[in-house]
């Protein structure tokens, strides 16, 4: 037996156990578990424990799978919107100029660690701090079921553009350029129909998950062999099959694996360098700069005709530093440009920015509602066609969430109540698809305070049915209904028994347990068929 591997495994089990404990405590006080994972890394760092081989592999695999699932949900058309490419380009340029001047000024004042940084190194450090975290934003949007909302798609588009800029920077810094073999990567485009056909043939079980791993890891390896950043390969492979009807099912199937492996990533941040009081102080002093980034994001997005709410929710998700900042810092340290202590400084700033962003994103709708009139004053008068406040056009029954459950409920309610029923979803592609099938479906967001403000003033709604993708999304919609003192019936779905009581306490009139009621419906259907045949 290889006792060295046993020692590594035991060490990593200890880290994972501590991560579970602190992650559980974080959730208990209303913070995302990732805050506990970050704290675990710093606790282990303080104890002098270094990152193990297993943990690092988990972290690398987590990032690869994350970018693959981002690709699965990415609409390339979003990147072509000026609200994405123009906002990102202007934001990076302005933030880099501002941060560079501040960092260079501190170097001229001989502030510890900053002393000795010339204008070029100040620019490198400014670039590292200008980016936002893909890992954090995707996790946050997934937990709230908002990946396909407009603000979610805008935020993800901005992050993709930032990540591409970071990949180009890293390639240039390493003095490497793609090999001639990289041209063969373009052959993946004509191979797309074959990839789609294989996905269709994989079924719905473990073979589907295995195919996802093959695409993610295989794409990463192919790009690495071509001299291109491997994680970009995972992202591109996801994009290539994102239009397939089973892409969403594949993303859901791989969700548990991705989340598990990302625990290693969050742990590795705290273990990135040696802690010192000086690094801690400087790292904390960098944290307020995320609000400079946020103010600029909000300003640019509203200038590009996004509503104040859409701009604010996208901005709050982007209010953090990026894991790419650590990678940029690591390369700079390896090249001898920066002191190794900068790795710890950025890890500290990154971790605390995650904590702040976690608090902000968990209360984003409350922040908008509380200061709504202030935010509205900052938006432009002209509005984008897909970012206007929804009008229900006199409907008395509204069904929010047009997935399989919502679509089925919509069809049945239309059969019973006719044109007074309307379906609502914040996935514009799904809305367009359902409208093409002559279903009465509108584009809208059930957690949109502006929408409910309009409903409060003039509505005929008697019944609201919430068939949203997860518990948090349903709770957000219920909070909006409480805000306007909605007096009609509110029915919602639940996936687990413990969610039923939570939803009822939040204001739901009836709660439909999807799996329990499906079994009941199945039994009733069989009985009806038996009686009919008699």
Q: What is the pLDDT of residues 457-473, one digit of tens each?
A: 556 788 899 988 788 88
When pLDDT is averaged across residues 272-294 and rounded to a whole number, the result is 87
Residue 73 to residue 514: CA distance in whole angstroms: 25
Indicate whether 5 belongs to any domain: no
Indicate whether 503 belongs to any domain: yes
Last residue of a domain, one of 347, 377, 407: 377
pLDDT in tens, 405-450: 888 888 888 888 888 888 888 887 788 888 888 788 888 777 777 7
Whether 388 has a pLDDT exceeding 70, the answer reads no
| Per-residue pLDDT at 457 | 59
| Per-residue pLDDT at 293 | 96
Q: Is residue 98 located within the same domain as residue 61? A: yes
Contact assessment for residue 204 and residue 365, using Cβ atoms and an 8 Å cutoff: no
Pure H helices in 174-286: 192-201, 206-225, 230-240, 247-253, 255-270, 277-286
pLDDT in tens, 223-260: 888 777 777 788 888 888 888 888 878 887 877 777 77
CB contact burial 403-424 (16+ within 10 A = b; e otherwise): eebbbebbeebbeeeeebbbbb
Q: How many helices (H) and strands (E) are present in the chain, helices listed first?
A: 26, 6
Q: Is residue 328 located within the same domain as residue 372? A: yes
- Report the chain's mean pLDDT, rounded to a whole number: 82
Which one is predicted more confidently, 483 or 51?
483
**What distances in angstroms separate CA 238 from CA 62, 73, 262, one per listed residue?**
15, 8, 18
When pLDDT is averaged across residues 61-83 and rounded to a whole number, the result is 80
In which band, very low, low, confident or very high, does the pLDDT at 177 lie, cut at 50, 70 and 90? low
Return the ∠ at Cα 178 (arms to 172 and 179), rounded to 5°: 140
Whether 302 has a pLDDT exceeding 70, the answer reads yes
Indicate whether 89 belongs to any domain: yes
Distance in angstroms between the alpha carbons of the first and the last residue of the chain: 67
3-state secondary structure of 408: helix
In which band, very low, low, confident or very high, does the pLDDT at 89 lie, cut at 50, 70 and 90? very high
Return the ∠ at Cα 118 (arms to 113 and 119), rounded to 5°: 125
Indicate whether 405 belongs to any domain: yes
Whether 171 has a pLDDT exceeding 70, the answer reads no
Q: Is residue 213 located within the same domain as residue 93? A: yes
| Per-residue pLDDT at 408 | 86
pLDDT in tens, 211-232: 888 898 888 888 888 777 777 7
Q: Is residue 368 located within the same domain as residue 409? A: no
Q: Is residue 142 located within the same domain as residue 290? A: yes
In which band, very low, low, confident or very high, does the pLDDT at 172 lie, cut at 50, 70 and 90? low
Domain count, the chain: 2
Q: What sign does the dihedral 36-41-44-46 (CA atoms) show?
A: negative
CATH of residue 68: 1.20.1530.20
Last residue of a domain, one of 377, 408, 439: 377
Indicate whether 190 belongs to any domain: yes
Whether 292 has a pLDDT exceeding 90, the answer reads yes
Which one is predicted more confidently, 40 or 178?
40
Q: Is residue 403 located within the same domain as residue 371? A: no
Q: Which residues lie closer than 8 Å to 322 by C-beta, 6 or more apart?
A: 128, 131, 132, 133, 134, 162, 166, 350
Contact assessment for residue 402 and residue 327, using Cβ atoms and an 8 Å cutoff: no
| Per-residue pLDDT at 233 | 84
Residues belonging to the chain:
534
CB contact burial 45-65 (16+ within 10 A = b; e otherwise): beeeeebbebbbebbbbbbbb
| Per-residue pLDDT at 175 | 57
Q: What percent of the chain has pLDDT over 90?
A: 15
Residue 421 to residue 392: CA distance in whole angstroms: 10
Q: Is residue 368 located within the same domain as residue 401? A: no
When pLDDT is averaged across residues 170-181 and rounded to a whole number, the result is 65
Return the ∠ at Cα 10 (arms to 7 and 12), rounded to 5°: 110
Instruction: List, in sequence order, every residue forming a beta bridge with 463; answer none if it has no partner.
Output: 397, 489
Q: Write out the DSSP string of 182-193.
A: GGGGGGGTTTHH
Whether 389 has a pLDDT exceeding 70, the answer reads no
- Structural domain including 466 reads 397-533
The helix or strand, by DSSP H or E, that contains position 487, with its residue range, turns out to be none
CA dihedral 506, 507, 511, 513 (to 10 degrees): -10
Indicate whether 194 belongs to any domain: yes
Contact assessment for residue 379 and residue 310, using Cβ atoms and an 8 Å cutoff: no
When pLDDT is averaged across residues 94-116 and rounded to a whole number, the result is 90
| Per-residue pLDDT at 96 | 93
In which band, very low, low, confident or very high, does the pLDDT at 16 lie, cut at 50, 70 and 90? confident
Whether 188 has a pLDDT exceeding 60, the answer reads yes
CATH of residue 520: 3.40.50.720
Return the ∠ at Cα 11 (arms to 231 and 53), rounded to 5°: 30
| Per-residue pLDDT at 460 | 76
Q: Is residue 311 located within the same domain as residue 247? A: yes
| Per-residue pLDDT at 499 | 87
Q: Is residue 282 located within the same domain as residue 406? A: no
Q: Is residue 372 located within the same domain as residue 405? A: no
When pLDDT is averaged across residues 27-37 and rounded to a whole number, the result is 76
Q: Write out the DSSP string of 50-102.
A: PPPHHHHHHHHHHHHHHHHHHHHT--HHHHTSHHHHHHHHHHHHHHHHHHHHH
When pLDDT is averaged across residues 155-183 and rounded to a whole number, the result is 75
Indicate whether 31 belongs to any domain: no
| Per-residue pLDDT at 318 | 95
When pLDDT is averaged across residues 108-133 and rounded to a whole number, the result is 89
Q: Is residue 450 located within the same domain as residue 348? A: no
The helix or strand, by DSSP H or E, that contains position 458, with its residue range, turns out to be none
Burial of 206: CB neighbours in 10 Å, binned 0-12, 13-18, 19+: exposed
Return the ∠ at Cα 531 (arms to 528 and 532), rounded to 5°: 80
Indicate whether 201 belongs to any domain: yes
When pLDDT is averaged across residues 26-38 and rounded to a whole number, the result is 77
Last residue of a domain, one of 342, 377, 412: 377
Q: Is residue 183 located within the same domain as residue 228? A: yes
pLDDT in tens, 361-371: 988 888 988 89
When pLDDT is averaged across residues 162-166 and rounded to a whole number, the result is 82
Q: What percent of the chain has pLDDT over 70?
A: 88
Among the residue ranges 42-46, 73-77, 396-400, the one predicted with the least confidence is: 73-77
- Which residue is listed with tokens 């192919």? 222
Q: Are strands 463-466 and 397-400 parallel, antiparallel or unpaired?
A: parallel
Residue 21 to residue 44: CA distance in whole angstroms: 13
Residue 374 to residue 96: CA distance in whole angstroms: 28
């Amino acid at each position: 037996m290889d006792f060295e591997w046993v020692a590594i495994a035991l060490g990593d089990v200890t880290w994972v156990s501590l991560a579970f404990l602190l992650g559980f405590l974080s959730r208990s006080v209303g913070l995302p578990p990732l805050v506990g994972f970050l704290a675990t890394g710093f606790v282990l760092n303080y104890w002098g424990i270094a990152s193990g081989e297993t943990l690092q592999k988990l972290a690398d695999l987590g990032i690869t799978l994350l970018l693959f699932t981002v690709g699965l949900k990415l609409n390339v058309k979003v990147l072509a919107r000026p609200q994405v490419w123009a906002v990102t380009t202007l934001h990076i340029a302005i933030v880099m100029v501002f941060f560079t001047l501040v960092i260079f000024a501190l170097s001229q004042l001989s502030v510890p660690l900053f002393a000795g940084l010339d204008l070029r190194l100040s620019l490198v450090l400014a670039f590292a701090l200008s980016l936002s975290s893909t890992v954090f934003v995707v996790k946050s949007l997934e937990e709230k079921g908002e990946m396909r909302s407009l603000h979610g798609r805008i935020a993800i588009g901005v992050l993709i553009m930032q990540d591409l800029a970071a990949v180009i920077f890293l390639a240039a810094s390493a003095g490497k350029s793609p090999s001639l073999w990289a041209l063969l990567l373009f052959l993946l485009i004509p191979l797309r129909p074959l990839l789609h056909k294989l996905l269709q043939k994989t079924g719905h079980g473990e073979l589907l998950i295995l195919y996802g791993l093959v695409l993610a890891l295989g794409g990463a390896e192919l790009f690495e062999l071509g001299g291109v950043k491997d994680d970009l390969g995972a992202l591109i492979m996801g994009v290539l099959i994102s239009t397939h009807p089973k892409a969403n099912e594949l993303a859901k199937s791989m969700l548990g694996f991705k989340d598990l492996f990302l625990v290693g990533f969050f742990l590795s941040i705290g273990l990135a360098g040696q802690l010192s009081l000086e690094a801690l102080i400087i790292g904390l002093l960098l944290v307020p700069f995320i609000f400079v980034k946020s103010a600029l994001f909000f300003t640019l997005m509203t200038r590009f005709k996004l509503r104040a709410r859409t701009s604010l929710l996208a901005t709050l998700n982007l209010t953090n530093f990026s894991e790419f900042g650590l990678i940029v810092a690591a390369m700079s340290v390896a090249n001898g440009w920066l002191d190794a202590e900068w790795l710890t400084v950025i890890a500290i700033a990154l971790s605390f920015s995650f904590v702040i962003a976690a608090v902000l994103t968990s209360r984003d709708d409350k922040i908008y509602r509380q200061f709504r009139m202030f935010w509205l004053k900052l938006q432009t008068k002209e509005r984008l066609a897909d970012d206007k406040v929804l009008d229900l056009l006199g409907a008395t029954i509204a069904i929010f969430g047009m997935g399989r459950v919502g679509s089925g409920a919509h069809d049945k309610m239309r059969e019973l109540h006719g044109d007074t029923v309307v379906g609502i979803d914040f996935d514009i592609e799904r809305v367009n698809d359902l409208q093409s099938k002559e279903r009465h479906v509108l584009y809208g967001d059930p957690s949109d305070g502006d929408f409910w403000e309009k409903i409060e003033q003039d509505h005929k709604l008697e019944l609201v049915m919430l068939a949203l993708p997860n518990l948090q999304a349903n709770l957000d919609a219920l909070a909006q209904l409480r805000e306007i003192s909605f007096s009609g019936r509110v029915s919602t779905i639940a996936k687990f028994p413990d969610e039923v009581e939570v939803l009822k306490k939040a204001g739901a009139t009836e709660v439909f347990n999807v799996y329990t009621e499906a079994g009941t419906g199945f039994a009733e259907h069989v009985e009806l068929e038996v009686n009919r045949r008699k």
